[in-house]
């Protein structure tokens, strides 16, 4: 058979030679030599260009909007996830009194600061808590006549129902001596130990259901409640605008550095501003910290687009004093400034003045009767609260704990009369009782003390 017939015609390559080319097509087209047509074609090209740009912008807008909707949906999904988590945990209600917890892990976060992971000794699930709340611990030391009661904020978000975490910094008293409980935690408490803990409480917490933009501001160990708030915001991928300011001296004090960076990665809405007041030479600006200063209202004014945020603050006394008053001066309404003090030194920053507070002269005429002790004394209006007044007069029947309305140790029954609160109680005492550490008398009183 001739080989020609075996060829598949579709596969036969077409060999182009100069003979296939029409020489006319190599000449310039007469269209491009007419200026009117060139202008016309240019106009059409411009029009197409404009339409293409508009289309591209619309497509980008659409892509952006869909991305945003996806993020919002994801955030909603995360919120539902969190609510489900809470709902699952709901059957485990908070307990009354003290419950035994095992120290499952002890981790050094930075110099003199340790985190303690606590699991319930009975192995049962834990109730959820609100980010910002604290636990109350009781220690019975052989050399102390009374148990020592201290509060420590939960530094984790309320994500886990198997453990709680608190983070404790060694406290040094004004005279240089070590604080009893914080140093006991740092030096003595070890993994496997058992501690007595009251259920989470406190009114300083972030409302996770709200979508108002927030500014979390903390100094030193005051980071603990803010960290719990930031963790919940990150975990739920909360779409609201979040600013996180943290101030410390330098990298030696910079606790939770990696953890906070991880949270920011989880929730890009969170903008981090780390301030070092006294950086080491090796502390790199822009890497370890963003601002070489304290956290001040001037810095907030530089960084925040406006003052219209909800502010949460926790830190040392002077830090809170200047920031809280600075925010008020900046025009932030008092209802938008929420803060917590870690001890009596900062309680005075509470801007609350009791309504209709009697003047100093009439207050000094108020008689306080301590019924159990059998003492009748004239109230001293220069004293901060009923607990200090009792202690100053040798009355030892009122216990003291946190001294900021948190732990409930100083609860005392009122037999007659009324009090005015100068601070926010962690848990409302029952009718007919008061928390002596954050109360002043409102007229003559008889106390069961």
Ligand X SMILES: Cc1cc2nc3c(=O)[nH]c(=O)nc-3n(C[C@H](O)[C@H](O)[C@H](O)COP(=O)(O)OP(=O)(O)OC[C@H]3O[C@@H](n4cnc5c(N)ncnc54)[C@H](O)[C@@H]3O)c2cc1C
| Residue 216 CB coordination number (10 Å) | 25
The DSSP symbol for 341 reads -
CA angle 166, 297, 235 (to 5 degrees): 40
CA angle 410, 403, 294 (to 5 degrees): 165
Residue 406 interacts with ligand X (CB under 6 A)?
yes
* CA gap 188, 197 in Å, rounded: 17
Range 84-90, long-range pairs (CB < 8 A, 24+ positions) = 85/128, 85/159, 85/161, 86/128, 86/158, 88/161, 89/125, 89/126, 89/127, 89/128, 89/161, 90/127, 90/128
Residue 136 interacts with ligand X (CB under 6 A)?
no
Smallest gap, in angstroms, from Cβ of residue 180 to ligand X?
3
Which lies closer to ligand X via its Cβ, residue 138 or residue 238? 138
Residue 129 interacts with ligand X (CB under 6 A)?
no
Alpha helices in 211-310 (DSSP H): 223-235, 257-266, 297-303
Smallest gap, in angstroms, from Cβ of residue 384 to ligand X?
10
* CA gap 232, 208 in Å, rounded: 8
Residue 235 interacts with ligand X (CB under 6 A)?
no
Q: Where are the beta strands (DSSP E) in 361-423?
A: 367-370, 375-378, 411-416, 419-421
Which two three-digit tokens encode residue 154? 């939960």
Which lies closer to ligand X via its Cβ, residue 317 or residue 343? 343
| Residue 226 CB coordination number (10 Å) | 29
Residue 151 interacts with ligand X (CB under 6 A)?
yes
Judged by CB under 6 A, which stretch of 104-112, 283-291, 299-307, 397-405 contacts ligand X?
397-405
Which two three-digit tokens encode residue 158? 């309320």
Which lies closer to ligand X via its Cβ, residue 220 or residue 279? 220
Which lies closer to ligand X via its Cβ, residue 150 or residue 237? 150
- How many residues bind ligand X (CB under 6 A)? The answer is 26
Smallest gap, in angstroms, from Cβ of residue 305 to ligand X?
31
CA angle 310, 126, 139 (to 5 degrees): 90
Residues 311-350 that bind ligand X (CB under 6 A): 340, 342-344
Mask 162-191, x = binds ligand X (CB under 6 A)?
-----xxx-x-x-----xxxxx--------
Question: Which of 112, 115, 138, 153 is the binder for ligand X (CB under 6 A)?
Answer: 153
Which lies closer to ligand X via its Cβ, residue 134 or residue 245? 134
**Going by DSSP bridges, is the β-strand pair 242-248/270-276 parallel, antiparallel, or unpaired?**
parallel
Judged by CB under 6 A, which stretch of 120-128, 161-169, 278-286, 371-379 contacts ligand X?
161-169
Smallest gap, in angstroms, from Cβ of residue 387 to ligand X?
9
Which lies closer to ligand X via its Cβ, residue 198 or residue 403? 403
Smallest gap, in angstroms, from Cβ of residue 81 to ligand X?
27
Can you give the binding site for ligand X, defined by CB under 6 A?
134, 150-153, 167-169, 171, 173, 179-183, 202, 221, 224, 340, 342-344, 402-404, 406
């Amino acid at each position: 058979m001739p080989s020609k017939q075996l060829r598949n015609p579709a596969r036969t390559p077409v060999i182009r030679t100069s003979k296939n080319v029409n020489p006319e097509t190599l000449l310039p087209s007469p269209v491009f030599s007419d200026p009117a047509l060139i202008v016309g074609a240019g106009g059409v090209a411009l029009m197409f260009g404009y339409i293409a740009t508009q289309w591209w912008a619309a497509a980008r807008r659409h892509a952006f909007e869909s991305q945003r909707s996806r993020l919002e949906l994801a955030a909603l999904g995360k919120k539902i996830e969190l609510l489900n988590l809470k709902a699952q945990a709901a059957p485990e209600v908070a307990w009354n009194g003290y419950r035994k917890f095992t120290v499952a892990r002890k981790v050094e976060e930075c110099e003199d600061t340790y985190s303690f992971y606590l699991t319930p000794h009975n192995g049962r699930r834990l109730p959820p808590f609100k980010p910002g709340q604290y636990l109350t611990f009781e220690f019975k030391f052989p050399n102390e006549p009374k148990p020592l009661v201290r509060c420590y904020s939960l530094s984790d978000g309320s994500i886990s129902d198997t453990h709680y975490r608190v983070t404790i910094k060694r406290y040094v008293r004004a005279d240089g001596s070590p604080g009893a409980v914080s140093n006991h935690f740092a030096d003595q408490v070890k993994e496997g130990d058992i501690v007595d803990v009251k259920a989470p409480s406190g009114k300083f917490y972030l409302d996770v259901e709200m979508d108002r933009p927030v500014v979390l501001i903390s100094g030193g160990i005051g980071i603990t409640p803010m960290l719990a708030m930031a963790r919940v915001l990150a975990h739920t991928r909360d779409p609201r605008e979040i600013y996180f300011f943290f101030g410390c001296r330098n990298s030696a004090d910079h606790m939770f550095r990696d953890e906070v960076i991880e949270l920011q990665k989880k929730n890009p809405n969170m903008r981090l501003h780390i301030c070092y007041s006294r950086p080491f030479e090796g502390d790199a600006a822009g890497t370890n910290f963003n601002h070489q200063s304290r956290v001040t209202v001037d810095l907030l004014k530089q960084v925040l687009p406006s003052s219209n945020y909800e502010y949460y603050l926790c830190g040392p006394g002077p830090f809170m004093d200047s920031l809280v008053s600075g925010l008020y001066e900046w025009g932030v309404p008092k209802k938008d400034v929420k803060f917590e003090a870690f001890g009596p030194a900062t309680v005075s920053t509470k801007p609350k003045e009791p309504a209709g507070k009697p003047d100093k002269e009439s207050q000094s005429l108020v008689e306080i009767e301590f019924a159990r002790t059998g003492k009748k004394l004239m109230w001293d209006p220069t004293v901060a609260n009923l607990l200090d007044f009792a202690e100053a007069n040798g009355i030892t029947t009122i216990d003291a704990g946190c001294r900021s309305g948190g732990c409930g140790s100083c609860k005392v029954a009122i037999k007659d009369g009324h009090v005015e609160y100068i601070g926010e109680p962690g848990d409302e005492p029952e009718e007919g009782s008061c928390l002596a550490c954050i109360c002043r008398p409102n007229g003559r009183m008889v106390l069961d003390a």
